[in-house]
Amino acid sequence: MSALGSEVRSPAGSGGLDSLVWTGRRGPLRWGGRLLLIAVGYLLPWILGGSDRIVTTCVLIAIFAIMSYGLDLVLSYLGEVSLGHTLFWAAGAYLTAITAVRLGWSPMPALIAALAAATALATVLGIATIRTREFVFSLVTYAAAVIGLTVVSNSAVFGGTDGLVGIPLLSLPAVDGQYVARSNADFWPIAYLVLVLVIGLISRFRRSKLGVTALMAQMNPDLATSLGVDVRRTRVLVFVLSAPVAALAGWLYAYQRSYVSPDLLSPYFLLFMLTAVILPGRRLLLGPLVGALLLTSQQELASLGGDADKIVLGGVLAAVLLLSPDGLAGIWRRIIRGGAGREIRPARDEAERRA
Amino acid sequence: MSLSAQLINGLALGAGYAVLAVGWTVLLGAARLVNFSHGQLYMLGAFTTWFVVAKLGLPYLVGIPVALLVCGALGLLMQLAMIRLTLDQKIVNLMVVTLAFGYLLQGGAALLFGGNPQRIDSPFEARSLALGVARFTQQDVLIVVAALVLYAATFHVLGRTGVGRTVRAVAEDPKLAQLYGINAARVYVGVFVFAAATAGLAGAVIAPRSPILTSIGFDEVIITFLVVVLGGIGSILGGLLAGLGLGLFVAVFGAFFPPAYSMAAAFAVLLVILVVRPQGLTAR
């Protein structure tokens, strides 16, 4: 695994923190560390005081992090900027709302409908954009999201500009009957479990053949093609895979908020996803989680009001890309190396020595 | 409404789209840059005009050049901030930066101008003219005239003058042009400022037709994108024809279907083109 890791490393997003989570020893010690991290993460709302506000913030962090992981797959590993991922996130939430409110479905069938709808949308969009790259790809996906907003705001099926209200409480089958999430504190275990599963999925993806192929197709498509990789197929596959991840977050959000409205397709969530992935640095396993944590904490606990928060979000994203395109990880790497060259090897060695 | 009325309406609409898109056509053709804050610059052009007319009490015709200057100045600031990314041709990062700028502008405008819908009080909007059964306003005439003048001027400058030769040289091969002594950075700044200023102009002349909000601008980016792509990237004349064509399509479509879906329909056409004839996207 570590040999593979060094092979597929790209010059842009490598070394430093990346090595800490990507490579390293296998074995009981590592698994123990992971379990400890997962346990501490679970207890975080209570470690931070357990107030209602903290618990709500933690739930939102988990949901928004999952949403951002959807975009992360495309942005970090394919290297393409999809501006249409709000579509999949909204598809997840809307399908949940429609099936739960209108048809009275329970959460699990609603989840399957949500994932299926997002996957279908992504397949259509992925095939339509199969031969586009860079800005044309971004523009087409962006247009899809803006059109989605218009359609949703204007059609009765989706509840128009008011959206759909009255989504029932999230209730899942448990050992002793039903587990009903009546409050955000009840919601936290579910959101956290889904988050851990999604991070597990991303971690597997990074080591999978598809993940390696995607990175190769991003770094050198000609080389990938000459080695027998079907670059277009890889791009569509990763794009389609990313959609249900975002939809999963939409499913959670619909239940957490108990209503859906066209604001799910607003640029706010688009900017949020992009910033959550880019701010910590692309291609980091825990990057989107850290990004979602920073952004949600600011918006929930230190909000300056809606319009000023927009300036903060837009300003942070622009500043990162203009000053340090590799994000916080890039700044960190520059600090530990004291501004020395950009080679990969020394940083990796240092990271391994520390680990 | 009769068909001739729809056609007149479509012509005014399409001329507006063409004004909106000319900056992008030049930007994309000459610098391979896209500006996602184009729609927000349009919004800002509209609100600057509204501010000049409603708050400062100056005539509408003063508002137009002020909007042009404000948006041009913002474009200058943006491009100066991005100049390193531009010279390195980091297209993907640039795109996201302009998206972030657009969001910033939207938040700033909301703080500055408030969240209420406003109306630009243009004297031309009130005066209506008639051509047979079709009725239209002087504002519509102003938009069509602005489009024709703007396209003629752009066509002339790019095709017939030294400035145009410089821009085309940088578009052809920035590195070689620099070897030849052309300052590519200055060309990028100039083209970006032109695009931003024309977006402001579009806001100033088109927006009096309907109420404005600081949250507008997203549809405008999509319209611009459709016009630029359908007209052939970088083609000035193609942009004008595509703008007029899209305007007529939207007007006629709106006569038979809910108008809210006209952009969705235009987008569906684009998706089909992407699948069937993707090379049309790169044709000059």
For residue range A288-301, list pLDDT tens digits in order.
999 999 999 998 88
- Asked if A12 reaches chain B (Cβ–Cβ under 8 Å), the answer is no
State the pLDDT at residue A335.
87
Q: How far apart are CA A184 and CA A191, in angstroms?
A: 10
Within 8 A of B269 by CB-CB distance, chain A residues are none
Q: What is the pLDDT of residues A2-42, one digit of tens each?
A: 333 333 444 444 444 444 444 445 667 788 888 999 999 99
Q: Is B173 helix (H, G, I), strand (E, B) or coil?
A: coil
Q: How far apart are CA B206 and CA B13, in angstroms?
A: 8
The answer to whether the CB atoms of B107 and A151 lie below 8 A apart is no
Q: How far apart are CA B192 and CA B37, in angstroms?
A: 12
Nearest to A267 among B218, B263, B271 (CB): B218
Query: Are A123 and A240 contacting, i.e. CB atoms less than 8 angstroms apart?
Result: yes
Q: Report chain B's C-alpha Rg in angstroms.
A: 19
Q: How far apart are CA A126 and CA A23, in angstroms?
A: 31
The residue with greater pLDDT, B279 or A335, is: A335
What DSSP letter does each residue of B185-216 carry, written as one string? HHHHHHHHHHHHHHHHHHHHHHGGGS-B-TT-
Query: Are A258 and A165 contacting, i.e. CB atoms less than 8 angstroms apart?
Result: yes
State the pLDDT at residue B265.
86
Q: How far apart are CA A314 and CA A300, in angstroms?
A: 17
User: Residue B137 forms beta bridges with which residues?
Assistant: B128
**Contacts with A174 (C-beta within 8 Å, 6 or more apart), sequence order:** none
- Asked if A263 reaches chain B (Cβ–Cβ under 8 Å), the answer is no
The answer to whether the CB atoms of B101 and A318 lie below 8 A apart is yes
Lowest mean pLDDT among A244-248, B63-67, B182-186: B182-186
Q: What is the mean pLDDT of chain A?
A: 86
Q: Is A141 helix (H, G, I), strand (E, B) or coil?
A: helix
Interface size, chain A vs chain B, as Cβ–Cβ contacts under 8 Å: 126
Q: What is the pLDDT of residues A35-75, one digit of tens each?
A: 999 999 999 999 998 899 999 999 999 999 999 999 999 99
Among residues A36, A320, A31, the alpha carbon closest in space to that of A203 is found at: A31
> Does position B193 have pLDDT exceeding 50, yes or no?
yes
What DSSP letter does each residue of B146-170 carry, written as one string? HHHHHHHHHHHHHHHSHHHHHHHHH
Q: What is the mean pLDDT of chain B?
A: 89
State the pLDDT at residue B277.
66
Q: How far apart are CA B121 and CA B108, in angstroms?
A: 23
Query: Are A118 and A243 contacting, i.e. CB atoms less than 8 angstroms apart?
Result: yes
Within 8 A of B271 by CB-CB distance, chain A residues are 128, 140
State the pLDDT at residue A25.
53
Half-sphere exposure of A348 (CA within 13 A, CB side): 18
Q: What is the pLDDT of residues A190-214, one digit of tens each?
A: 999 999 999 999 999 999 999 989 9
Q: Model pTM? A: 0.88
Give residue limits of the domains in chain A.
Answer: 2-354
Interface with chain A: mutation pick from B96, B116, B216, B229, highest number of A CBs within 10 Å: B96
Nearest to A128 among B93, B263, B275 (CB): B275
| One CATH from 2.20.25, 1.20.120, 1.10.490, 1.10.3470 for A2-354 | 1.10.3470
B137, amino acid identity: T
Domains with residue ranges and CATH for chain B: 3-281 (1.10.3470)
Mode of pairing for the β-strands spanning A170-174 and A259-260: unpaired
Question: Maximum distance among all alpha carbons in chain A?
Answer: 61
Q: What is the pLDDT of residues A70-93, one digit of tens each?
A: 999 999 999 899 999 999 999 999
Q: What is the pLDDT of residues B129-181, one digit of tens each?
A: 877 777 788 999 999 999 999 999 999 999 899 999 999 898 888 889 889 88
